[in-house]
Amino acid sequence: MSVGKIFLVGAGPGDPELLTLKAIRAIARADVVVYDRLVSERILETIAEGVTQINVGKQADFHPVPQAEINQMLIRLGRAGRTVVRLKGGDPFIFGRGCEEAAELEAAGIPCEVIPGITAAQGCSASARIPLTHRGLASGVRYVTGHRKSNEPLDLDWASLADPDTTLVVYMGLSNIDEIVAQLIAHGLSASTPALAVCQGTTEQERRICARLATLPVMAREASFSGPVLFIIGRVAGLALERSGHDDATTVAISVVA
Ligand X SMILES: C[S@@+](CC[C@H](N)C(=O)[O-])C[C@H]1O[C@@H](n2cnc3c(N)ncnc32)[C@H](O)[C@@H]1O
Interaction site with ligand X (CB under 6 A):
13-14, 38, 88-91, 94-96, 119-120, 124, 171-172, 198-202, 228-230
Please identify, using beta-carbon distances, which residue of 71 and 200 lies nearer to ligand X. 200
Catalytic residue list contains 172? yes
Please identify, using beta-carbon distances, which residue of 4 and 161 lies nearer to ligand X. 161
Using CA atoms, how far apart are residues 20 and 90, in angstroms rounded to an integer?
Answer: 11
Catalytic residue list contains 58? yes
Which among 15, 36, 91, 163 is annotated as catalytic? 36
Please identify, using beta-carbon distances, which residue of 4 and 104 lies nearer to ligand X. 104
Q: How far is the CB of 93 from ligand X (least distance, A)?
A: 8
Using CA atoms, how far apart are residues 71 and 247, in angstroms rounded to an integer?
Answer: 48
Catalytic residue list contains 22? no
In SS3 terms, 22-91 reads as HHHHHHHHCCEEEECCCCCHHHHCCCCCCCEEEECCCCCCCCCCCHHHHHHHHHHHHHCCCEEEEEECEC
Please identify, using beta-carbon distances, which residue of 4 and 201 lies nearer to ligand X. 201
Q: How far is the CB of 75 from ligand X (least distance, A)?
A: 22
CA distances, 172 to each of 144, 146, 198 (Å): 9, 5, 12
Q: How far is the CB of 215 from ligand X (least distance, A)?
A: 20
Which among 22, 73, 172, 247 is annotated as catalytic? 172
Phi, psi of 209 (to 5 degrees): -125, 145
The answer for residues whose C-beta is within 8 angstroms of residue 17's C-beta and 6 or more apart is: none
Q: Enumerate the active-site residues.
A: 36, 58, 172
